[in-house]
Amino acid sequence: MDSLPVLLLIFVVGLATLVKASDFFTDAAEKIGLAIGLPPFIVGVTIVSMGTSLPELLSSLLGIFQGAPEVVASNVIGSNIANICLVVGTAAIMSTKLLRVMYNLISVDLPLFVGSAFLFALMASSEQRFTQGEALILVIGYIVYLFYILQSSDETASSTDEEPVAPSLTSPPFSTARSLREILILILSGIFIFLGANYTIDSLIQISDRLNIGKDIIAISAVALGTSLPELMVTINASLKGKAELAVGNVIGSNIFNIFVVMGIPGLITPLPVSDEILRHSVPTLLAASLLMFFIVQDNKITTWEGWLFIMLYGWFMGTVFGLL
């Protein structure tokens, strides 16, 4: 059996591999999607938005297959809280200008963002687990959401003379060599995503047993924080370029995907337990953070002091997780 320092090293390296490989996978998939003629908007709402949640999804699926289904709900709750408090808070604090929020996010996506958090709480508290029937409802709900935003995009595009294209979703014509290169990157990064998730969850289980700490506690803190690193790094870079408002849309989309898909797909395989500790402390924090986000952005902006409020809420949350507060 490996020593604790070795297990910690394996955990860190596995998590870093999972996060970085997901970044390569998403980038390559985006370029391939554009090269084969998929509309930029479809690439954006599918490949790009889902790609940022690949670490959460893969680590949750590996948790199921390695006999630790309790890590799924903890991973989702911890990631969503980190997305709201750390990512949005960092964006508001580091932005070179006042952080603005687009109207369509407030009118459409934000209500679903808050509603998904309350739906999660309702399902989790009913039997202290997510049943396979509830998981099916979540997956169907996300499919309906995708159809809705795709239809809305078609209506928007038909009312204008040109199709909306995200600045990052433009790509020069592909040569055969470049196409093969992106396909190779896609395959290799997919392999490393699997390996990273496998070693992350395997080491998490052993560390939990060695330290007598619940797997859900490690999942809601270390794993969740690690899988939110892509969003955090993108936010820091965007903030320094004065484009931090993009992070708000990414957070809302990522949190919706986490609840509907990262909970839904593993839940179709097996029921997902939710511990008393998670229900008492973490779920209320998720609801509070989601409501705080909802009310703060009603004036279409997030100020610096509101960003610090999110950061302080995350500090309080982590303190309660480890019994420091």
Beta-carbon neighbour count of residue 211 at 10 Å? 12
What pLDDT, on a 0 to 100 scale, did the predictor assign at position 167? 45
pLDDT at 81 over 70: yes
Q: In whole angstroms, how large is the CA radius of gyration of the chain?
A: 19
Distance CA 273, CA 71 (A): 9
Report residue 145: phi and psi, to 5°. -60, -45
End-to-end CA distance of the chain: 34
What pLDDT, on a 0 to 100 scale, did the predictor assign at position 116? 92
**H helix intervals, 36-86:** 40-43, 49-51, 54-65, 70-82
**What is the extent of the structural domain holding 26?**
4-321
Structure tokens at 307: 């960003």
What pLDDT, on a 0 to 100 scale, did the predictor assign at position 169? 47
Q: How many domains does the chain have?
A: 1
pLDDT at 213 over 70: yes
Do residues 28 and 179 touch, judged by C-beta distance below 8 A? no
CATH of the domain at 89: 1.20.1420.30
DSSP character for 298? G
Q: Give me the DSSP letters along 117-137.
A: HHHHHHHHHHHSEE-HHHHHH
Do residues 188 and 30 touch, judged by C-beta distance below 8 A? no
Among residues 173, 189, 191, 231, the alpha carbon closest in space to that of 28 is found at 189
- Tens of pLDDT, residue by residue over 181-209, are 888 988 898 888 778 877 887 887 788 77
- Mean pLDDT calculated for residue range 69-85: 90
Kindly tell me the burial class for residue 180, based on how many C-beta atoms sit within 10 Å of its own C-beta (0-12, 13-18, 19 or more). Answer: exposed
Block residue for tokens 């902006």: 301
Structure tokens at 15: 């998590």
% of the chain beyond a pLDDT of 90: 22
Number of H helices, E strands in the chain: 18, 4
- Give the pLDDT band (50/70/90) at residue 261: very high
Question: What are the CA-CA distances from residue 113 to residues 80, 85, 140, 252, 275 (Å)?
Answer: 10, 14, 16, 6, 23
pLDDT at 16 over 90: no
Distance CA 271, CA 60 (A): 13
